[in-house]
Amino acid sequence: MSELLKYVPGLADVPVAESAISSIDGKRARLAYRGIAAETLARESTFEETAYLLLKGKLPTQKELSDFDQQLREHRRIKYRLVELLKCLPESGHPMSAMQAGVAALCMLYPVRTVTDPRLNWESVINLLAKLPTIVAAFHRLRNGDEALRPRNDLSHAANFYWMLTEMEPTPAIIRVLDAALILHAEHSMNASTFSARVTASTLADPYTVVCSAIGTLTGPLHGGANEEVLDMFDEIGTPDKARSWLENAVATKRKIMGFGHRVYKVKDPRATALQELAENVFAEIGRPPQYDLALELEKAALTILGPKGIYPNVDYFSGIIYQSLGIPRDLFTPIFAIARTAGWLAHWLEQLKNNRIFRPEQIYVGPTDVPYVPLEERR
Ligand code: COA
């Protein structure tokens, strides 16, 4: 049977699900959530509204949105024992690991014995969306020796997260750019972490475990971890005048340029374009960070060097510069991605449950066969 199968590395172009959640046109730089352009949502919508759209399949009415928003606000607080657990984690550990630990603890604090009850499933959705920002912010403050701040019910999802991290109220421009970043990271069809979520979902595991699997998959530098590495790369390059020669050398030595390239987009990622636009608005208010000029110079050089191969900036290229300019430390960039993508992961969880069959792909065995067992004393 194996001889008839064709192995496709990375499952490139192999459909693994039918999904009505988001669609990408990689040639025309289009990303749509439930048919609505993601850039339009980034400009016009809020994370709460976009999460509702992804999860429920349609934009909410005013009443539906305020009910959903209210539920999220009411469930932001985390239990005292969870805060105690976060206090025990090594402060030098990565916040993505703290997030996984926090979600595993949520799974124990809010046990889910069945995934067949829509009401219980919705409670888990609210819990995860509402509490993940609190877990990340609490871990961050505790590792710095500060008290974890209580979430504020009078602030939006994005504004409250910024408050819990910094103890400062964000300006409208900061809220806008954070909201847009959350919206643009909320969903992206069958990427590695979403696939991971769907595989775990297909075993009928509880939603906390589904999100835990996805968080783990997101940590890798080829996926969510790239946004941190983009800034490490800017540090290494130093100044805009060194961008071209650095890039030429990196390409000659076959290095991967972080924040560039995408399996699906062969043009500039529409999320990068939308984020860049909003970044410029916020930079006009808080000042233009030096890395931004370097990023523009590197992008210009890459246009002629990588552009012909269809390699352009992806979403991670500008997100880190924005977060850093807001005073957010580098190792929180991927957790912010996870906070946003939880909406997409959970939408995929619910979709997978509607028509579930456990994932069990095939492999092509390439090892030896009929190998005799050699007793230990006869082995050399
Ligand atoms: N820098 C330099 N070359 C790159 C590149 C990059 N960022 N991304 C792809 N390429 C090149 C590869 O070296 C390869 O060249 P080759 O055919 O001469 O060997 C070709 O483009 C195809 O790359 P491949 O790694 O097979 O593409 P992929 O679809 O498997 O990988 C990514 C997609 C995102 C993993 C890849 O572009 C990458 O590693 N990017 C950097 C990490 C990053 O920014 N990730 C965030 C994604 S949102």
Q: Which atom of ligand 1 is nearest to the CA of 230?
A: 44
- At 3 the pLDDT is 60
Q: Which of 246, 267, 245 is nearest to 311 (CA)?
A: 267
Please report the pLDDT score of residue 224 as a whole number.
87
What is residue 2's predicted lDDT score, i.e. its pLDDT? 52
Looking at ligand 1, which residue's alpha carbon is closest to its atom 37?
261
Which residues does a 6 A CB cutoff place in the pocket of ligand 1?
Answer: 10, 222, 226, 256-263, 309, 311, 314-316
Q: Residue 36 in 3-state DSSP?
A: strand
If you measure from the C-alpha of residue 236 to the centroid of ligand 1, how many angstroms do you get, rounded to a whole number?
A: 20
Atom of ligand 1 nearest to the CA of 10: 30
Spatial distance between the Cα atoms of 212 and 217, rounded to a whole number of angstroms: 9
How many Å lie between the centroid of ligand 1 and the Cα of residue 37? 25
CA of 312 to the centre of ligand 1 (A): 10
Residue nearest to atom 32 of ligand 1 (CA): 262
Task: Please identify every stretch of the chain with a pLDDT value under 70, giving residue numbers as ranges.
Answer: 1-3
Closest CA to 64 of 75, 76, 49: 49
* Residue carrying structure tokens 């996805």: 214
Q: Distance of CA 171 to CAs 163, 329, 334, Å? A: 11, 19, 23
What homologous superfamily is domain 226-325 in, according to CATH? Cytochrome P450-Terp, domain 2 (1.10.230.10)
Query: Best of 247, 251, 254, 260 to mutate for ligand 1, by most ligand atoms within 8 A of CB?
Result: 260
Q: Has 188 been annotated as catalytic? A: no
Q: What is the reported pLDDT for 4?
A: 72
CB under 8 Å to 48, separation ≥6 — which residues? 65, 68, 69, 72, 156, 157
How long is the chain? Answer: 380
Element (H, E) at 31: strand 30-33
Ligand 1 atom nearest the C-alpha of 256 is 1
Which residue is closest in CA terms to ligand 1's atom 2?
Answer: 256
Beta strands 30-33; 36-37: pairing state? antiparallel
Residue 46 DSSP code: -
Residues 58, 38, 294: CA angle, nearest 5 degrees:
160
Q: Ligand 1, from 271, 311, 312: best to mutate by most atoms within 8 Å of Cβ?
A: 311
What is the spatial distance between Cα 62 and Cα 48, in angstroms, rounded to a whole number?
A: 12
Distance 326 CA to ligand 1 centre (A): 29
Q: Which residues contact 83 (CB under 8 A, 6 or more apart)?
A: 138, 142, 148
13 catalytic, yes or no?
no
Domain residue ranges of the chain, discontinuous segments joined by +: 31-219+330-354, 226-325
* Structural fold of domain 31-219+330-354: Citrate Synthase; domain 1 (1.10.580)
Q: What is the DSSP letter of 313?
A: B
Question: What would the pLDDT profile of 225-246 be if each residue is shown by its tens digit?
Answer: 888 899 999 999 999 999 999 9
- Distance between Cα 256 and ligand 1 center (Å): 6
